[in-house]
Structure formats: structure tokens, C-alpha cells
Amino acid sequence: MKILFAPLQGYTTGIYRKAHAEIFGGVDAYYTPFLRIENGKPREKDLRDLEIANADCANVRCAGIAEGIARDGNARKENCAGYKVVPQIIANSVDEFKILAEALIAKGYTEIDFNMGCPFPMQVNRHRGAGLLSDIQAVQEIMDEIRKLSSVTNGTAPIKFSVKMRLGQDSPNEAFALLPILNEAPLTHITLHPRLGKQQYKGAIDFKSFEKFYEECRHPLVYNGDITSVSQICEMERHYPKLAGVMIGRGLLAKPSLAAEYKGLRDINSAATTQDFLGKLFQMHQVIFDHACKTYQGDSQILSHVQNFWEYLEPSIPKKIFKKIKKAGKLSEYQEAIIEMRGQS
């Protein structure tokens, strides 16, 4: 069963994806935080994250990728480094969808994920994410556009689309009203988080509705929601044998070795002991820290990009040191906390 890394804004950045793939591994595809429209065009900040320079790839010749397939090569930078990246977009209409999809196709991407699940009010109130699920006409128009774009090739590769969604914003009836439309669309898979948008990440998961969707969905189905252990992945695999995979976000941020442990890669990429896990964690942090120091200026900017790394790792860190990391206002204070943590590991 495939393991997909869910996108989390501010956490699963380009450098995070690269470092995780190289050090922990086990993930079949990394999904980027969504690209959105701002002032009528793709948001520049989102585009920059897709364009993280990949020095390792500069000297790598990608097997099977002829020169010129990707018009500006950005898709190749991440994907030819040995890990697969799928950009995600969020839109409230077919017009927004077209602008974003065409921007990604122009950058050489051949797979795009469409977000109909974001529960945050800022997006829902703009009729995006879970806020789009009740608009059958808008979804139909977007699926029609997906059908058109799926007949296009980018170089030699066809354009593929997938959907990430919730059961609805206010009711599971919203997802089931859309299912006939989704079943007819040329999608590679659907990822379903079986909560309502209004729940955000609280409250019980609706497994009864998930099972109904699982039985009626004609596309490969990926489960998303509250996966934090190998035993949970195995239980999902046992209970839903047709399941194509699981998408994990916070669970992988809290335990970066989770995917590799599930895949039995302990002898290669995974952490067999706590000591090994911490060693890989420090190695991954160093990659992210070095990148932040080269890319940003001033303590404040650098700290804003490295402190997030530890947020979901709090259970793995001594409480006193975690507080020092979060409260550090100077780079020297932050580095002292990291040195102290290394000394205790």
C-alpha cells in the first residue's frame, strides 16, 4: 500500500521534502502545500516553494526524461532527485483552476492534485477547499476541465489529476452527491478525509460514511486522517483490502521514520533504535538549518523557518529543551538549545 505525505503549510516545505526523502524515506509521493490564486494569478510565495533549488539534481541525468520535456525544468528538480512530488492546487471556480493548472503544466509537472478538503475558514469562506463541496455545478465544470487537460501531454507524459476531499463542509450528503460526477472524471485516485470541513481536525472520524464511499467509489481510494502508527496503517490495509494507500501529515511530522518503518526499511532508511532515530532527526534538521541560513537574512527570518521543524516532534524532545527552542529569540539561543539536546541524546 502506498504512503503519501500530506501537505501542511509552513511545515512540508521544499527543503523539508528533500531532506525527508534523502534521510528517512519510505514515502511514495510528497504533496505540496496548495498553490492558490492571489490578485488574479498564482501566488508568488507558493510558486517559490515549488522552485527550491536542488543542487544534487544539477549533475543528475534523469533516466527516460528527454531534454526539453519540462519547459523550465522545475518539476525535474525535485522528481529526478529520487523522490516524487505532486503539486496541489485549490480553486473556487473553473477559471481559477485553469490558471493554476496551466501554470504547473508550464513548469513541467504532469501530475496535479486538486484540494476540495481544506477546512480552514479563510479558504472555505472564499468557496475553496471544503467550501466547494456543496457546489455541484462548479465541481462538474472543474471535472470537465480535467477531462480536457487529461488529453494533453507534457512532452511525452500525459497530464494526470487526483482529488483530495472531505465528506462535506456541513453534511456527508455533499460528498455522495458529487460521487457520480467524480466517478466519471479521469482521476488517478481520490484521497478522502472522513470528517466534515466544519469539524476541522476535531471530533470523531465518520468511518460509516467512509466505508460507504469506499464501496461506491470507482477510483483507487486513499485514506487520510489521524494515522500515527504502523499498526494503524496495517489495520487500514487489513480492513480495507482495496485501499490504494494512506496519506499522512501530522503523523509523519511527529515521527518521520513512520513510512519507512511500515515498509520494512529499517536496515536502510528507518530508525531501528531511539538513538538512530535522533541521529537521523539531527541530520535532517541540519539540512533544513543550513538551507535557512543560506536563504534568509537575520535571526528572526531564519528562526521562523527552523523552529517549526520541532513543533510536532515535541513528544520526542525533553520538555525543557523544547521550551528553549520555541522561546529562542536569537539564533545563538536556538543553537545552544540544539547543542544541549544533542548532548542529552
**Per residue in 295-304, pLDDT tens?**
999 999 999 9
Q: Residue 88 phi/psi, 5° resolution? A: -115, 145
Residue pLDDT, tens place only, 46-104 = 888 887 633 333 222 232 322 333 334 455 455 445 689 999 999 999 999 999 999 99
Whether 242 shows a pLDDT value over 50: the answer reads yes
Q: What is the mean pLDDT of residues 130-152?
A: 96
Over residues 217-231, the mean pLDDT reads 97
pLDDT over threshold 50, residue 269: no
> Residue 114 pLDDT > 90, yes or no?
yes
How far is it, in rounded angstroms, from Cα 292 to Cα 13?
A: 11
| 201: Cβ contacts below 8 Å, ≥ 6 apart | 119, 195
162, 171, 142, 201 alpha-carbon torsion, rounded to 10°: -50
Domain ranges of the chain: 2-262, 274-344
Confidence band (pLDDT; 50, 70, 90) for 110?
Answer: very high
Instruction: Tell me the C-alpha distance between 230 and 221, whole Å.
Output: 19
What pLDDT, on the 0 to 100 scale, is given for residue 312?
Answer: 97
Taking only the tens place, the pLDDT of each residue in 169-183 is: 999 999 999 999 999
Ordered alpha helix ranges (H), the chain: 14-23, 44-50, 74-79, 94-106, 121-124, 136-149, 173-184, 207-216, 230-239, 250-254, 258-262, 274-295, 299-306, 319-327, 331-344
Superfamily of domain 2-262: Aldolase class I (3.20.20.70)
Q: Is 77 exposed, middle or buried (0-12, 13-18, 19+ CB in 10 A)?
A: buried
pLDDT more than 90, % of the chain: 81
